[in-house]
Structure 1
Amino acid sequence: MDARETFGGGVAVITGAGAGIGAGLARHANALGMSLVLVDVDAAAIATLRDELVATGGSAVDIVCDVRDPAAMTALAERVYRDVGPVRLLVNNAGVEQFGYLWDTPVQNWNRVMDINVSGVFHGVRAFLPNMIATPSPAWVWNLSSIGGVAAVPLQAPYIISKHAVLALTECLRLEVQLAGHDHIQVQAVLPGAVKSNIFEAAGGVDPAADGADVAAAESTREAMLDIKAAAMDPVEAAEVVFEQAARGEFYLLTQPEYVGSAMAERAEVLRTQTAPQLRTGRRFDPAKH
């Protein structure tokens, strides 16, 4: 089956839908004929996207919700099932970045990354999956990891750690869903490469008032990532690739299969040979080299 046959007519809930790949997934889901529930903390962004999708004849509602809040996520799920309908596709996408040496990272920035990128996925699964299990029709859960989820990268440690964690969470969840016999639920991991978003502009940095904090290292990494963004993939094009892979039943959904796949192969080889992490030229991670 193709993506339209698989997903068309269903309800998709997308967190972090206000920008980047979240908005791209929403736009393509709309083109496939899905009804959208756009979730974000940026009320203006998702309201604008809702208006855009409705203007094209689509069905979309926008709901402001912080994925860090488990009670709010539970209330979101209850509202969706009450007012919109059964969820065919849950996309736990909300995420943030962090630049700088790990020892310079403010505690509140560390907590922000973990609470959104990791706990936000957990809260989404915990809030929605029981209802998805209880509904006999096929349903999908996508959790957003990253090419960074299979890499070791300096000066972005909190983000990289969080994306490794999301990948492991998703792999374990897939096994648990299978173990429990819920054959109508598909759990899949999304690993985007470089896709245009505002995640780098909004990323946390280090406190310039902290003694010895290397602000320059953090900000030069931000500049390098913004250079990569300039040549990054369009979010709607990335979404189209992801939806087609998902419809084929693949587990690892890669926006750029060749270079994200090569990063996965490199990671596997590093683990196989037990090779210590090595700095790349210029110290920074460039997805274009994978």
Structure 2
Amino acid sequence: MSTPKDLFGGGVAVITGAGAGIGAGLARYAAREVGMTVVLADVDAAAIAALRAELERHGGRALDVVCDVRDPDAVERLAATAFRDAGPVRLLVNNAGVEQFGYLWDTPVANWERLVSINISGVFHGIKAFLPRMMAEPGRSWVWNLSSIGGVGAAPLQAPYIMSKHAVLALTECLRQEVELAGHGHHVHVQAVLPGAVASNIFESAGAVEDGDVAAAEDHRAAMLRIKAQAMDPIDAARVFFDQAAADEFYLLSQPFVADAMAERADTLTRRRAPRLPQGEFTVPAS
């Protein structure tokens, strides 16, 4: 069986949202363990510049490109820069994402629109800019779109995020079929990444609510931060994702309990029962 180094080593990886969390973990693992040139894309210029310097100190090759995935022109420039300055892209990781806490009816419209434009449209912009170039290359390539354990379930007080991750999963499943239908399935591999609890700063930076039940939103943030304290290291998650990708899995899962959530979702749909309110840390009593 092929190893990640066999498939990805020596190639170019482009990772959006690479400044922190899962994106930074993927970048570190790809550069240090797999031997890839990594194009770091993020809106946080200082974060990706520091990460590039870190990777280069350890003998890696990296390029940092400031990019807001909400802007299709910026993502197109990212693709042009990556292919011109780093080489043909072997791995595209559409990872950039943000969270939102609070009751859906309390969510500020601006926060909703920002989340949709990053979590969903950002993935589309990545596909639009990179995939035609990748399909035109003769070598094998991979597209990873970041969904989440939230993409196969439901949870209160973070509906915008959960909705967006369902959308990314559906987009990725359809994209897999379309790439095959267009005759590129033999060399362009589309895969869905479903992290469970993986350490990042997404909960700290999550959108808040300004009116309504602010306490419920902040209590939920606190609950998610307690879960984060037990979360998987991003580099360990990256190792799992690369191993599963090399094994030609479609759903790349950070932890076994993500598969349990998938089975629970399937059972909910098969039995046609209403979603159950989660118990434990994920449930915050109404204020």
What corresponds to 1:277 in structure 2? Answer: 275
Amino acid at match of 2:200: S
Shift of 1:81: 1.1
Aligned residues: 281
What corresponds to 1:3 in structure 2? Answer: 4
Matched, 1:206 2:204: no
TM-score (norm 2): 0.96
TM-score (norm 1): 0.95
Amino acid at match of 2:264: E
Amino acid at match of 2:218: E
Q: For the Cα contact (< 8 Å) 1:53–1:60, is it kept in 2?
A: yes
Give the 3 Å change call, closer, same or farther, for CA 162–285 of structure 1 in structure 2: farther
Q: For the Cα contact (< 8 Å) 1:154–1:283, is it kept in 2?
A: no
Matched, 1:162 2:164: yes
Amino acid at match of 1:272: T
Matched, 1:231 2:233: no
Q: Secondary structure at the match of 1:29?
A: helix
Counterparts of residues 178-257 of structure 1 (less than 5 Å):
178-182=180-184, 183-207=186-210, 210=211, 213-256=212-255
Give distance in 2, aligned partners of 1:151 and 1:22.
Answer: 23
Amino acid at match of 1:262: D
Give distance in 2, aligned partners of 1:202 and 1:233.
Answer: 19
Give distance in 2, aligned partners of 1:176 and 1:232.
Answer: 35
Identical pairs, percent: 69
Unaligned runs of at least 5 residues, structure 2? none
Amino acid at match of 1:196: A
Shift of 1:281: 2.7
Q: Secondary structure at the match of 1:79?
A: helix
Unaligned runs of at least 5 residues, structure 1? none
Give distance in 2, aligned partners of 1:43 and 1:90.
Answer: 20
Give the 3 Å change call, closer, same or farther, for CA 30–283 of structure 1 in structure 2: closer
Q: For the Cα contact (< 8 Å) 1:100–1:156, is it kept in 2?
A: yes
- RMSD (Å), alpha carbons: 1.1
What corresponds to 1:138 in structure 2? Answer: 140
Give distance in 2, aligned partners of 1:274 and 1:217.
Answer: 29
Shift of 1:84: 1.2
Give the 3 Å change call, closer, same or farther, for CA 37–219 of structure 1 in structure 2: same
Alpha-carbon displacement from aligned partner over 1:226-276 (angstroms, at most 9, x marks no partner): 0000000000000000000001100000011x1000000000000000010
Alpha-carbon displacement from aligned partner over 1:153-200 (angstroms, at most 9, x marks no partner): 100000000000000000000000000010200000000000000000
